[in-house]
């Protein structure tokens, strides 16, 4: 990939990220966390994880993310988990959004899984343990 196309991709990801965060904030998602996964996986550049207060809230948040993405000209590659709505995944290509109930989020610990070995995450864990 050329430097120009890398910059374009980074700008597209940043723009999509903003639309996702706007959608999450619009419907009052809780504990929004972004994890840069470039260099850790080839499937995406950014994971965004947020919580909803109920299954209905989780589904509404995910629907809003899809709506905001479409307005930005990005068609979701897939949406999974809408039926149960305890954990809904919205795959937007370079950005993957996980909207979960707090107990599901705590159980699976995606933040811990994707930040193992990251200096900032390790420092936060050390501060929290102290």
**59-80 pLDDT, tens digit each:** 999 999 999 999 989 999 999 9
pLDDT tens digits, one per residue of 33-60: 999 888 777 889 899 999 999 999 999 9
Tokens of residue 93, six digits? 């290509």
Report how many domains make up the chain: 1
Give percent above pLDDT 90 in the chain: 58
Helix axis angle, 55-71 to 3-26, nearest 10°:
140
- The domain of 75 spans 3-129
CATH number at residue 104: 3.30.460.10
Q: How many residues does the chain have?
A: 130
The CA angle 74-21-75, to the nearest 5 degrees, is 10
């Amino acid at each position: 990939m050329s430097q120009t196309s890398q910059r374009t991709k980074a700008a597209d990801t940043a723009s999509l990220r903003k639309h996702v965060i706007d959608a999450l904030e619009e419907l009052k998602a809780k504990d929004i966390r972004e994890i840069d996964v470039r260099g850790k996986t080839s499937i995406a550049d950014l994971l965004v994880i947020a919580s909803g207060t109920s299954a209905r809230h989780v589904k509404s948040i995910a629907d809003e993310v899809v709506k905001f993405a479409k307005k930005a000209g990005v068609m979701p590659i897939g949406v999974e988990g809408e039926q149960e709505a305890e954990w809904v995944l919205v795959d937007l290509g370079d950005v993957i959004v996980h909207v979960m109930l707090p107990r599901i989020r705590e159980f699976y610990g995606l933040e811990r899984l994707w930040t193992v070995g990251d200096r900032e995450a390790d420092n936060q864990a050390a501060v929290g343990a102290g």
